[in-house]
Amino acid sequence: MFRSHEGGATGESPVVGGGALAVVPVRELAAPLDLATIGQVLPELPSELAPEPPQGIFARLNHRLRAVDLAAVDWAPDLAEEIGSRRWYRGMATLVGLALCALACWPDFSRLEAAPATRLDAAARDEFRSQSIMPLGYGGATGRPMGPRFAMRPVAFVPERAQVELASVLAPGDSLGRMLQRAGVSGADAARASELVAATVPLDEIRSGTRVALVLGPRPAPGLPRPLEHAEFRARFDLALAVNRAGGGLVLQKRPIPVDTVPLRIRGQVGESLYRAARASGAPPQAIQEYLQALDGHISLEGDIQSGDLFDLVFAVRRAATGETEVGDLLYAGLQRGQTAVAELLRWGNDGAFYSADSFTNPTYVQTGPGMLMPVNGRITSSYGTRFHPVLGYRRMHAGVDFGAAWGSPIVATAAGAVSYAGYHGGHGNYVRLDHGSGLGTGYAHMSRIAVTLGERVGAGEVIGYVGSTGLSTGPHLHYEMYRDGRTVNPLGARFATVTRQVDPGQLHAFRARLAQMKAIRPGAILAARPQPAVRQIAMR
């Protein structure tokens, strides 16, 4: 912009452009010039007055970068918006560029070159194989005597250890004598040790899995078995035995282990499964099995047990002074729903059966007709007729009556007769059939044990077997059948009548006192002290 001497009065400024003067109003030049105005003015300037363009590649590049406002450019747009636009492609280019930069910075790892494998000839392989530890079948010479050299000489006899200490385990169906002989004991010593042990404990009462610690002496001659110096094992839970060599023979040493028995009570709430709930509460499987068997003789396990009921069981625990414990018999089985006791059963009497307080007032055996008795002390769980079989899964004829009873409860003959069948009988399991004459017969199925033989004559009320769950059975019960002229009839066709036997009512007071004692035990309370006097731990070599 140039101002002439004459332009001061008119307010216009002559501008030189191409040899002529262009008049531009001064008021317009007073405003800031933008790029468009500069573009209009600069072409009119003479070349000698226009700014010189930058020279060189870097200068031109720097000039162009200065002209671009990089901060105003959105280099990382949202690729989910304006797909296909210039802004979207600019963002995609940024993403690809950053990915290429990351790949360019990828570390260059190269594998380490190992030394080439040494090539071995046949002689070298034989030398390595002779000194390696491998089976003889693969060519190893482990344990073979090496040839004599200047540093060694062959010996005629390799000395053995004076004593060998080892342990052996009694396998199922095995005997103590055979186990000792397999361990390397001479036959004479094995027989003598078995004889000494059998004089104290019957050999068939030693449990399989018993660990026997042995010490064998030196061989009397090469190739002969070693003599027994010491053998020690746990013959019973309360007795340890040791066989030692003394004075040229074997002697037996008994080591009694103090053992006490304490009751353990476990209570819990039934969930989806009574068994799983009891296991989760810490009850051992053996005690739970006895608990279910005791309940099954008095209530229905399918219909009388509901979710939310409280189970209660007390069982004996035997504790040894050496620290081991052993689960004993179930003593009490209870089931409670709210504030009501569904079942309170106590092991009572010499037969080991479970009874409730009602057993001392209700009859054990009653007549079902002239000369016919109830076969077992229990309740009817399934009647005569067509029903859905719980094992086979379809409807079929149920040609008898089921009595729910505790496992091992005695089964009696309902009338005098002769045993026409005694043994295993397909789905009946252990089965006894009696012939009472005049075309009348009775059958007793699913026994755990049969107490009569074929052809034997029995009287009414005489024990012929015990309740079990053999054959097609879901639990301990008695399947009782009645036959007339070879065809089954309903055993309940006769009426119930006279009482023939019941539990001694004089024991009711003692029964209730024992029941209260069981219910007073605090759940989980077992004395922490071991029985005294304590004995040393059995050394198992």
Nearest Cα residue to 261 out of 319, 205, 189: 319
pLDDT given at position 184: 87
Question: Is 177 a residue whose pLDDT tops 70?
Answer: yes
pLDDT value of residue 371:
46
Q: Do 357 and 508 meet the contact criterion of CB atoms below 8 Å apart?
A: yes
> What pLDDT is stored for residue 500 in this prediction?
40
CB 77 within 8 A of CB 91: yes
How many C-beta atoms lie closer than 10 Å to residue 262's C-beta? 15
pLDDT at residue 27, as a whole number: 47
Mean pLDDT of 311-340: 89
How far apart CA 426 and CA 423 sit, in angstroms, is 10
Q: Which of 312, 457, 479 is nearest to 382 (CA)?
A: 479
Closest by CA to 326, choosing from 378, 287, 274, is 287
Q: What is the DSSP string of 363-397?
A: EEEEEEETTEE-SSSSEEEE-SEEEE-TTT-SEEE
The CATH code for residues 164-256 is: 3.10.450.350
Quick one: what percent of the chain has pLDDT higher than 90? 15
Residue 177, SS3 per DSSP: helix
> What pLDDT is recorded for position 286?
87
Confirm whether 164-256 and 263-353 share one CATH topology: yes
Over the stretch 403-421, which tens digit does the pLDDT of each residue have? 888 888 889 988 888 999 9
Give the residue-averaged pLDDT of 178-203.
Answer: 89
Q: Does residue 452 surpass a pLDDT of 90?
A: yes
* CB burial string 222-253: b at 16+ within 10 A, e below: eeebbbbbbbbbbbbbeebbbbebeeeebebe
pLDDT exceeding 70 applies to what percent of the chain? 73
What pLDDT is stored for residue 241 in this prediction?
92
Say whether pLDDT at 521 is over 60. Answer: yes
Q: What is the Cα–Cα distance from 534 to 336, expressed in whole angstroms? A: 40
Which pLDDT value is given to residue 12?
46
What does pLDDT average to over the chain?
77
- 382, with CB counted inside 10 A (0-12, 13-18, 19+), is middle
Could you report the per-residue pLDDT of 36-54, keeping only the tens digit for each? 555 555 555 455 555 666 6
CATH number of 263-353, picked from 3.30.2320.80, 2.60.120.10, 3.10.450.350, 3.40.50.970: 3.10.450.350
Q: What is the pLDDT, as a whole number, of residue 108?
A: 74
Q: Which of 181-185, 215-219, 271-275, 349-353 has the lowest mean pLDDT?
A: 349-353
Please report how many Cα atoms fall inside a 13 Å half-sphere around the Cα of residue 265, on the Cβ side.
16
- 123 or 289: whose pLDDT is higher? 289
pLDDT of the residue at 539? 37
Amino acid at 249: G
- Residue 283 clears pLDDT 50, i.e. is over it: yes
The pTM is what? 0.46
**What pLDDT score does 215 carry?**
92
Q: What is the pLDDT of residues 77-136, one digit of tens each?
A: 788 888 888 888 888 888 898 889 888 888 777 777 777 777 778 777 777 766 677 766
User: In this predicted structure, which of 124-128, 197-201, 251-255, 533-537 has the lowest mean pLDDT?
Assistant: 533-537
The pLDDT value given to residue 430:
94
pLDDT tens-digit map of 133-174: 776 666 666 655 555 666 667 677 777 788 889 888 888 888
Task: Judge whether residue 370 has pLDDT over 80.
Answer: no
Look at residue 431 and tell me whether its pLDDT is greater than 90.
yes
Q: In the CATH hierarchy, which top-level class contains the domain 371-493?
A: mainly beta
Asked if 413 and 458 touch (Cβ cutoff 8 Å), the reply is yes
Please give the structure tokens belonging to residue 22.
Answer: 């262009």
For residues 63 and 191, give the distance between their C-alpha atoms in angstroms, rounded to a whole number. 112
Reported as a single tens digit per residue, the pLDDT across 470-503 is: 888 878 889 999 888 888 888 876 543 334 445 5
**Dihedral angle at the C-alpha atoms of 29, 31, 34, 39, nearest 10 degrees?**
-10
Q: Terminal CA-to-CA distance of the chain, rounded, Å?
A: 116
Rounded Cα distance, 145 and 127, in Å? 15
Q: What pLDDT does 33 receive?
A: 52
pLDDT score at 348: 82
Q: Given a cut of 70, is residue 11 above it in pLDDT?
A: no
Lowest mean pLDDT among 22-26, 97-101, 228-232: 22-26
pLDDT at position 151 is: 66
Bigger pLDDT: 329 vs 64: 329
**Which is higher by pLDDT, 439 or 16?**
439
> Which helix H or strand E contains 259, and what residues bound it?
strand 259-269
* pLDDT attached to residue 538: 40
Assign 535 to helix, strand or coil.
coil
Domain limits, the chain: 164-256, 263-353, 371-493
